[in-house]
Amino acid sequence: MAEDKRTKKSEPAPAINLGALPNVLGYVLRQSQLLVYQAFQQAVNDDSVRPPQFSILEMINSNPGIRPSDVAAAIGVSRANLVPLLAELAKSGFLTRKGDRNDRRAQALHLTEAGESQLKRLRDVIIPLEDRLAEALGPGGRDTLLNLLHRLNTAAAKA
């Protein structure tokens, strides 16, 4: 009698030789980013909120009246990619767009009360998550890692 493939337990995948990848900065950074994003999604437990939305809410809260082009530059996305993110946040009632006092053609972004509440809720989840992740780095490890990443970003921007 033939074994049903659907009920057969799968064998563990053999270890994959990654070659030079474990020593390639871009590969290791991307793997870390994916794992941190997954931890973020599990902690936030809301499919409609992703790290870019948190970043945007945090930036607008810290810079009321900021222009969308400045947000895009600061978080490293194109203006075209930022537009749907802002539209989503506005549709959710988390931000408003007002005409800039100095340039009526430009928009100034502001959080609503709902946006401020959402940001507080996210911080209440994300800050403990960040602390748990940083524990793996040991004492002073978080500061060292951030310092190194900032140096890497500066060098990469000049390259």
CA dihedral over 99, 102, 104, 108, signed as positive or negative: negative
Closest CA to 97 of 87, 110, 84, 85: 110
Give me the domain span that covers residue 49.
44-138
When divided into structural domains, the chain yields a total of 1
Who contacts 128 (Cβ-Cβ below 8 Å, separation ≥6)?
43
Residue 10 lies in a domain: no
Tokens 């980013």 map to which residue? Answer: 33
Q: What is the pLDDT of residues 2-42, one digit of tens each?
A: 555 555 667 777 889 999 999 999 999 999 999 999 999 99
Structure tokens belonging to residue 123 = 């911080």
Residue 68 lies in a domain: yes
Tell me the pTM.
0.81
What average pLDDT does the structure give for the chain?
90
Residue 105 lies in a domain: yes
Alpha helices in the chain (DSSP H): 25-44, 51-62, 68-75, 79-91, 113-135, 141-158
Is the model's pLDDT at 110 over the cut of 90? Answer: yes
Residue 35 lies in a domain: no
Instruction: Identify the CATH number of the domain in which residue 120 sits.
Output: 1.10.10.10
Residue 55 lies in a domain: yes
